[in-house]
Every structure is written in C-alpha cells, then in structure tokens.
C-alpha cells in the first residue's frame, strides 16, 4: 500500500528518502485555509479540496504531495465572506509567506528541485507568491541550485466549456464561488459524508461593492456566509469539474516539472 501512497505525510522517512533520492522528484504542495463555508460544509473545505486536487494530479503525473498548508491568509469579504465571521481563522500574511518560503527551502535542501503550490483559498495567492520569491532569493544567495516552482489556483484550470455546461444561467465568477456550486460539488464527489445539502441556504449571489471597507460592514455578506448558492450542486458536477482541473494540472506539471 505504501508503495502507491503519493502523500509524503503518510510515508515513513526511509520511504520518503527513497522516493526522492534520484533528484528527479516533483512535489505538489496544497495550500488551503480554515474558514467558514456556510451551514453545509466543513471549515477545512479549502484544505481538503486543494489536497485532493494535488493527490489526483500526483497520481496522474507520478509526483508526490507535500504537507497541506492549512494556515491560510484572512478570509476577505469579497472572496470568502470575511474574517469577522466566527469559524474563519485568519493568519497574518507573514505567516503564510514564511511557511511557503520555508517549504521551498526545505524541499530544496532535501534534494527536491521541482515544486508546485496548488492553491485552494482565493486570498492566499500573492502571499504564496511572495514566499516562493523570497525562497528563490535565499537559495540563489546561498549559491545552491535553483529549483523550478509553479504556483497556481486549481479553479483556473476549469475549462470555459465546463463552465458553460455547469453554469447554464451564467457564471458568477470564482471570487463569489465561496461555498457555492464548485466547492460543494467537488466535496459531494469526494467527501459526501461531510456535506449537508439539506442545510444549504438558497440565497441570491452576494452583491459586493467595488471596494473594501474597514471595519467590515457585516450586512454585505449573505446570512449563509456563502457568496453564492450551493443549491444546484451535485456529485456529477463535482466529477466534471475535477476532470477538467486534473487534465489541466497534469498537462502543466508534465510540461514544466516532469
């Protein structure tokens, strides 16, 4: 069984060293968050989905999966409902930056030179970017071999065709997908026991302003905490979305990291 395990956090150190010893290993690092996802999904949704996408891509590309970063940047009202909502745990940017920077440095020290961050929490992106950027600087100034590092958010790999099929009434945009059809459908496909469709609050998509406001005006976030309704979710849609994502991710990993 351990032979087919792609996630290094479930391997013993001897097996891990064996898997990376030829210096040709690719490691995919999921980046999630601990964040409220309405009344129908768990706090760990972003971490679970990014980990699942990384594991499926690793299986398709003969790669490994690194530890899931669950300490995501603060939920923002226009993409995650807002960090004022109890259930969301917002880490400062410096924490996300340093965690990503450390992982790139440590994998490089281990002899892993091909790394991809698979982001699953909208707000993380620029801070993961900064962590990678600083790690590249650290590695260059230490005179070590520069790794190849990819950074992406998995939903960007859902094709336009899949979007057109799954959102016949119009696509609301990935920012307001928080707790909506995409995340809920993929959770229904892989973790159905953790989704409570009978608790979905079928509300219209959030109408958010073109600016951020401090302090947050809580009335701008729908009562559900989700930014669009998950009512039209299904495991079938989850399967289609996942296929689209894994095809796209596998292609880019094979092209750049294998």
- Residue 113-152 contact track with Mn ion, rule CB under 5 A, x = bound: --------x-------------------------------
- Phi, psi of 26, rounded to the nearest 5 degrees: -115, 130
Closest approach of Cβ 81 to Mn ion, in Å?
9
Instruction: Give the C-alpha distances (Å, rounded to integers) separating 155 from 46, 94, 125, 165, 201.
Output: 12, 25, 12, 15, 23
Nearest in space to 150 (alpha carbons), one of 73, 241, 64, 257: 257
Report if residue 177 touches Mn ion, rule: CB under 5 A. no
237 binds Mn ion (CB under 5 A): no
Would you call 236 a catalytic residue per the annotation? no
Number of residues that bind Mn ion (CB under 5 A): 5
**Looking at beta carbons only, is 45 or 162 nearer to Zn ion?**
45
User: Is 183 a residue of the active site?
Assistant: yes
d(CA 143, CA 255): 26
Residue ranges of alpha helices (H) inside the chain are: 13-20, 45-61, 77-80, 93-110, 125-141, 160-166, 181-190, 235-256
Binding of Zn ion by 46 (CB under 5 A) = yes
Rg, Å, the chain Cα set: 18
- 45-61 helix and 235-256 helix, angle to the nearest 10 degrees: 50
- Quote the CA–CA distance of 90 and 258 in Å, as a whole number: 34
- The enclosing H or E element of 118 equals strand 114-119
Does position 80 bind Mn ion by CB under 5 A? yes
User: Least distance from C-beta 53 to Mn ion, angstroms?
Assistant: 14
- Cβ distance to Zn ion smaller for residue 46 or 189: 46
CA 31 to CA 127: how far, in whole Å? 11
> Mask of contacts with Mn ion, 18-57, x by CB under 5 A?
---------------x-x----------x-----------
Residue 110 C-alpha from the chain's centroid: 24
Q: How far is the CB of 2 from Zn ion (least distance, A)?
A: 31
Question: Judged by CB, which is closer to Mn ion: 2, or 86?
Answer: 86
Interaction of residue 123 with Zn ion, rule CB under 5 A: no
Site membership for Mn ion, residue 81 (CB under 5 A): no
Q: Which residue's CB is nearer to Zn ion, number 100 or number 182?
A: 182
Interacting residue ranges for Mn ion, rule: CB under 5 A? 33, 35, 46, 80, 121
Interacting residue ranges for Zn ion, rule: CB under 5 A? 45-46
- Positions marked catalytic: 35, 37, 46, 121, 123, 178, 183
């Amino acid at each position: 069984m351990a032979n087919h395990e792609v996630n290094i956090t479930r391997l013993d150190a001897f097996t891990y060293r064996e898997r990376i010893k030829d210096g040709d290993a690719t490691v995919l690092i999921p980046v999630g968050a601990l964040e409220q996802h309405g009344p129908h999904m768990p706090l760990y949704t972003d971490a679970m989905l990014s980990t699942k996408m990384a594991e499926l891509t690793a299986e398709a590309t003969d790669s490994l999966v690194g530890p899931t970063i669950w300490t995501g940047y603060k939920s923002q009202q226009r993409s995650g409902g807002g960090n004022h909502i109890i259930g969301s745990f917002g880490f400062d940017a410096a924490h996300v930056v340093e965690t990503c920077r450390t992982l790139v440095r440590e994998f490089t020290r281990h002899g892993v030179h091909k790394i991809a961050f698979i982001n699953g929490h909208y707000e993380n992106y620029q801070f993961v970017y900064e962590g990678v950027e600083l790690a590249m600087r650290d590695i260059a100034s230490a005179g070590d071999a520069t790794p190849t590092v990819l950074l992406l958010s998995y939903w960007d790999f859902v094709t336009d065709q899949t979007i057109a099929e799954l959102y016949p009434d119009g696509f609301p945009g990935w920012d307001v997908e928080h707790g909506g059809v995409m995340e809920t459908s993929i959770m229904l496909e892989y973790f159905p026991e953790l989704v409570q469709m009978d608790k979905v609050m079928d509300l219209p998509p959030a109408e958010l302003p073109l600016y951020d406001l401090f302090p947050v005006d809580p009335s701008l976030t729908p009562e559900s905490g989700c930014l669009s309704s998950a009512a039209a979710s299904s495991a079938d849609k989850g399967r289609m979305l996942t296929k689209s994502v894994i095809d796209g991710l596998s292609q880019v990993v094979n092209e750049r990291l294998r």
